[in-house]
Structure 1
Amino acid sequence: MNNDDFLGLDAMLEAAGGIINLTIEEREQVNNAGAEVLQQAMSDVTKDKHYRDRKTGKVKHLADSIEIGTLEGSIVDGSRAIGYSTKDANHARIARFLNDGTKFIQGDNYIDQTIEQNAGAAQDKQIDELTKILGHKEAGK
């Protein structure tokens, strides 16, 4: 499995015999279902471990800046990515420091652990979405 297919949609399709033709929109729909599970889990664990009750002003809190989308500069193939926003503040950099640590901060690997712990639930959600899509295709809709 390559790094771009962490939750295994390509592997699931290959295991099904490669007979399933999915459009880019359908692939996005399936991958989005899994990404939403990870997005919620990441938001919850970020609030749990790194939330300080303080006023953030116009800038979103780190836990509220997790987005789903396509990676900048990547081809449109239905894959989805989740990550911290860099729009109003560089939350991605801050999250990396909290996860990996720095010379002054002890990292806690919360991103890695959250992805590992929720990958199964995300795959289950992807399978449910794929089943719905295949049901619609079989019904001729």
Structure 2
Amino acid sequence: CKPGIKGRQCDRCAPGTYGFPNCLPCNCNRDGTEPDVCDPHTGICLCKENVEGAECDTCRPGSFYLDPSNPKGCTSCFCFGATSNCRSTNRRRTKFVDMRNWRLEAVDENIDIPVTFNPVSNSVVADVQELPASVHNLYWKAPPSYLGEK
């Protein structure tokens, strides 16, 4: 088949083009479109689930960060119901991997729960089998290096 044309009999436009037999390029943002990019007859862009706009270049409300490797196009907000309006930060992202100095606390109880740091596996372990029956909820408390505006 000629460039931009596909099919067993070279009778259809290839993904990213429309209007057989001329097969013109679609005017779509490839980061935000489905694999076929646009409708092969009309050229209308086929946006991923969390993407909108005539060119599939805008995240839908309730999502952010248009990413070509994301099958939905944009990441859904994860604001725990506080808001559906979110955006990417301009701050640097980093992965925390140091598990030292984490504590385990019981809500409304003044109980010291011993934890053990294992440097080989970089993990923290706590034995909670012998806690009083009044303890129903435990929470990991992060060290100061994890806290703050991050």
TM-score, scaled relative to structure 1: 0.24
Q: TM-score, normalised by structure 2?
A: 0.23
Greater C-alpha radius of gyration: 2
